[in-house]
Structure 1
Amino acid sequence: MLLENYKEILTPLLLKSGSKAQIKLEGHHPESRLAGGKYSLSTHTITLYIEEIKEQCIQIFGSIANLDLYIAVVFAHELGHAEDRALGILAERLEMATTETERARLSFLIEKRAWNYAERLLQGTDRKFTKKIIFQSLRHYYEQIELQHGA
């Protein structure tokens, strides 16, 4: 998968964010997970998994008609991780968490902060489209916290 093919989608967001993160595109996630992207704190690298992003797009919207916008939303979210100055501290707290509730809340906080950043970065794009992706992304965390809270 060539980065060149996606530069017109990714470059404007990268420039707007001011991020110096490296970008890698892969076909599939190495662990066969349905994760569309990941950010590596140690290498300051964002990796997007194009086939997983396509699959997510189909699952949420029924087609890949808006794949370019979907990729932009996923990328903006990963930029949110890359530019989160508190990520190192939150990740450290997550590693040291001793209860499932604490892990669930910290994981949610990390994701929510990245989505908040993405929403600011994506101002001017289809808000309803973005909100639907965010809801799907965070749904697992809400459920996890609710289960922990109810237990």
Structure 2
Amino acid sequence: MKEEYRSLLQPLLIQSGSKAKIEMEGHHPESRLVGGKYSLTTHTITLYIEEIKKQCIQLFGSLAFLEAYICIVFAHELGHAEDQALSILADRLDAAKSETEKARLQFLIEKRAWNYAEKLLQKTHRTITKKIITQSLQSYYQEIELQYGA
């Protein structure tokens, strides 16, 4: 099954020109509902297929859009992998002194990765992509609103 997904992701990897390694796991090691992660230190993207399936069912009510969902999550993680400013932003995040500053930096990091994903996907699965992005960024918007007392 993992090979099927790997062949699905290969065109995006080639299109991006990224040299990131790809790993696929079943579940997130901390049982979190996280579809993917990027490791700056190892330049590795890890996709958690079972978590992506859960997210897909939660957002769309079925696995009908699973392949698109996997590609969208992967494109987002490629956005982190290819973000030339990520290490600087990560350092700033580590040094952040206030919750507001942390929330703004986390949002910026995620937003930059989603912007990259949208460009990479070039309008394929546009409606699905927008829905996933909105869902993904919702908690960041809420956190920023909390910090600003909105």
**TM-score, with structure 1 as normaliser:** 0.97
Structural mapping, 1:1-150, within 5 Å: 2=2, 4-150=3-149
Q: More displaced, 66-75 or 121-130?
A: 121-130
Shift of 1:124: 3.4
Q: What is the aligned length?
A: 150
Letter of the 1:43 partner, please give it: T
Secondary structure at the residue paired with 2:41? coil
| CA distance in structure 1 between the aligned counterparts of 2:6 and 2:44, rounded to whole angstroms | 16
**TM-score, with structure 2 as normaliser:** 0.98
- For residues 91-126 of structure 1, what are the alpha-carbon distances to aligned partners after superposition, in whole Å with 9 as ceiling and x for unaligned? 000000010000000000000000000000001312
| CA distance in structure 2 between the aligned counterparts of 1:70 and 1:40, rounded to whole angstroms | 21
Q: More displaced, 77-86 or 125-134?
A: 125-134
For the aligned residue pairs, the C-alpha RMSD in angstroms reads: 1.0
Structure 2 unaligned runs (5+)? none
Q: Where do 4+ consecutive residues of structure 1 move more than 2 Å?
A: none
Letter of the 1:24 partner, please give it: E
